[in-house]
């Protein structure tokens, strides 16, 4: 199958540091190539892939100087896709919605995976206007705020099985063991909750997280004072992919105390790949991704979180890895997408055949 993967340009594919969507695009692209498909990746020029790369800007826009407005770069990317569209069997977009008008002008099967939150007030009117375009959600919860649209499927993210290897035992708590927080320093990710859980239960906490410019004040006024106030808390900064396996695998548990409608939460399955259990708040996709009492604990209040944190070490890490292998591998994710691709291609063929018959009848 000839497949185009169209990635956002803010990060490379895969990202050098933080970046969830581009990381998933990379895992999907490489697995499709591994399975023998002809894949073309439209992404930033500093991306790394076994697919054919079409560079749509020189480097990831988040790290590039002078890229203050990302829209012109993405519009240019859409034009590059349009110019080559006829060479593909399916176009798979991961770039929100700028491409939607174009898709009504092409005969190639296409779909869009929505990676972000869908509860903003401007979202519903847009998707009502383009309700015919096939969409994929990354969790069932993500799609709840949306109007009736053309949902093709819910497909959970997946990781390569050897990316974050299974770690059968964490570092013991008495030997400098720790709980982990991985992601972004931002109000919706609630690092303050993670710190409170660690302090109240007497556990060490390592925070590996990036600080976006918009969150610098939150870090300075709210989180840094909490870090400085307790010897149990260590901020290690933003880590790369090579560091992630050791960081997550060595942890007794991952704290995911979010306070927003998380569409998926890639870090949860990254921890599960290592066999590391997750303590998550019951927001967004968390109850859908975690199997309560098996891969971690789902809680709703601070007292529940503090009661559950010491129990993370009692969970079977091998069972956590088995759950990951069954539900969240890149192989599973790619297989689910291939079924959607084939279905959309079949619908296109039926549509073309129906149009051909109608033209023939009119001409008779």
CATH number, domain of 214, equals 3.40.50.2000
Q: Which class for 148: exposed (0-12), middle (13-18), buried (19 or more C-beta within 10 A)?
A: exposed
Q: Do 21 and 127 sit in the same domain of this protein?
A: yes
Which one, of 326, 348, 350, 327, lies nearest residue 88 by Cα? 348
Rounded CA-CA distance 331/350 in Å is 29
Which one, of 48, 75, 51, 50, lies nearest residue 59 by Cα? 48
Note whether residue 166 is domain-resident: no
Q: Do 358 and 280 sit in the same domain of this protein?
A: no
Tell me, rounded to whole angstroms, the distance of Cα 128 from its chain centroid.
24
13-33 pLDDT, tens digit per residue, is 998 876 789 999 999 999 999
Q: Do 152 and 6 sit in the same domain of this protein?
A: yes
Domain count, the chain: 2
Q: Do 321 and 179 sit in the same domain of this protein?
A: yes
Token reading at 101: 């008008």
Q: Do 141 and 86 sit in the same domain of this protein?
A: yes
**pTM of the predicted model, to two decimals?**
0.90
Q: Do 54 and 127 sit in the same domain of this protein?
A: yes
Kindly indicate the confidence band of residue 148, based on its pLDDT and cuts at 50, 70 and 90: confident
Positions of E strands within 28-178: 38-43, 52-55, 90-93, 109-114, 135-137, 151-154
332-344 pLDDT, tens digit per residue, is 999 999 999 999 9
Q: Do 277 and 156 sit in the same domain of this protein?
A: no
Q: Do 321 and 339 sit in the same domain of this protein?
A: no
> For residue 132, what are the domain limits?
2-160+330-363
Kindly indicate the confidence band of residue 104, based on its pLDDT and cuts at 50, 70 and 90: confident
Note whether residue 165 is domain-resident: no
Q: Do 88 and 155 sit in the same domain of this protein?
A: yes
Tell me, rounded to whole angstroms, the distance of Cα 36 from its chain centroid.
24
């Amino acid at each position: 199958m000839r497949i185009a993967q169209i990635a956002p340009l803010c990060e490379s594919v895969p990202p050098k540091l933080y970046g969830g969507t581009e990381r998933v695009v990379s895992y999907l692209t490489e697995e499709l190539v591994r399975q023998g498909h002809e894949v073309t990746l439209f992404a930033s020029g500093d991306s790394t892939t076994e697919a054919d790369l079409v560079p749509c800007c020189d480097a990831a826009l988040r790290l590039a100087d002078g890229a203050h407005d990302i829209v012109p770069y993405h519009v240019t990317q859409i034009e590059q896709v349009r110019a080559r569209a006829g060479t593909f069997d399916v176009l798979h977009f991961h770039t929100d919605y700028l491409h939607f008008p174009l898709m009504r002008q092409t005969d190639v099967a296409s779909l869009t995976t929505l990676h972000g939150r869908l509860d903003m007030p401007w979202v519903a009117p847009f998707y009502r206007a383009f309700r015919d375009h096939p969409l994929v959600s990354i969790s069932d919860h993500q799609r709840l705020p949306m109007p009736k649209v053309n949902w093709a499927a819910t497909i959970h993210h997946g990781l390569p099985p050897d990316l974050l290897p299974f770690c059968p035992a964490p570092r013991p708590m008495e030997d400098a063991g720790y709980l982990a927080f991985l992601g972004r320093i931002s109000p919706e990710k609630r690092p303050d909750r993670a710190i409170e859980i660690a302090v109240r239960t007497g556990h060490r906490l390592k925070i590996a997280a990036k600080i976006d410019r918009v969150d610098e004040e939150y870090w300075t006024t709210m989180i840094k004072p909490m870090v400085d106030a307790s010897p149990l808390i260590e901020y290690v900064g933003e880590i790369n992919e090579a560091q992630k396996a050791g960081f997550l695998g060595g942890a007794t548990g991952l704290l995911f105390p979010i306070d927003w409608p998380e569409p998926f939460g890639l870090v949860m399955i990254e921890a599960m790949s290592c066999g590391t259990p997750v303590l998550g708040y019951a927001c967004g996709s968390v109850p859908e991704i975690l199997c309560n009492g098996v891969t971690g604990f789902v809680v709703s209040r601070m007292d529940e979180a503090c009661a559950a944190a010491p129990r993370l070490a009692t969970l079977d890490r091998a069972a956590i890895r088995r759950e990951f292998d069954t539900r969240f591998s890149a192989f599973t994710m790619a297989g689910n997408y291939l079924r959607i691709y084939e279905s959309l291609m079949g619908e296109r063929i039926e549509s073309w055949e129906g149009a051909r018959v109608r033209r023939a009848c009119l001409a008779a």
